[in-house]
Amino acid sequence: MIDFFERSHFLDYEVLRPLSHIRAHWELSSGYDGCHFEIEEDSFAKELGELIDELEETSIPARYHDNEDRLAEYVREKFKQEINKVGNRWVGNDYRIILQDAGILDIDEKNLVQSAKGRIVAAQKRNQNHYDDMEPGHRKMLGVILTLILFHRADNA
């Protein structure tokens, strides 16, 4: 799994920079002593490395969209948001905001982690074997999901 993310030009910018208001050091450097990334104070590098390890061990979901749909359903039911699924897309609010709101209810970020794993496997099935090689829209959505996982875990730390 680390090979999918290592030496990425986009990973830190798309996943950690949006969290720079929480922890200022968002740029990643290669790690050493068994760490995927260099651990710096006021950084999510350690947590991102741990998340990558978790993704390695996470089972592959049958359909990662089911996990995301479950999250959107939470938002519709619990927050009474007027969102609906039209075809394969949720409408009524920005999809990133829907997932962000749902993360509050996603115990241990289980659905977000499953969604991330599914998106990675889907990319690999299309011979996109590195984060930077993913189709840009799918890469950015995976980045949003990874950011949300780290955000919600930081909130609980």
Mind listing the pLDDT tens digit for each residue in 32-85? 777 899 999 999 999 999 999 999 999 999 998 999 999 999 999 999 999 999
Terminus-to-terminus CA distance in the chain, angstroms?
25
As a whole number, mean pLDDT of residues 18-24 equals 96
pLDDT of residue 34: 72
Q: What is the mean pLDDT of residues 87-108?
A: 92
Q: How far apart are CA 30 and CA 36, in angstroms?
A: 6
Q: Residue 155: is it exposed, middle or buried by C-beta count within 10 angstroms (0-12/13-18/19+)?
A: exposed
CB 144 within 8 Å of CB 13: no
Please report the pLDDT score of residue 141 as a whole number. 96
Contact predicate 52/36, CB 8 Å = yes
Answer yes or no: is pLDDT of 125 > 70.
Answer: yes
- pTM comes to 0.94
Question: Quick one: pLDDT at residue 79?
Answer: 92
pLDDT value at residue 156: 57
- Measured distance CA(80)–CA(87) in Å, rounded: 21
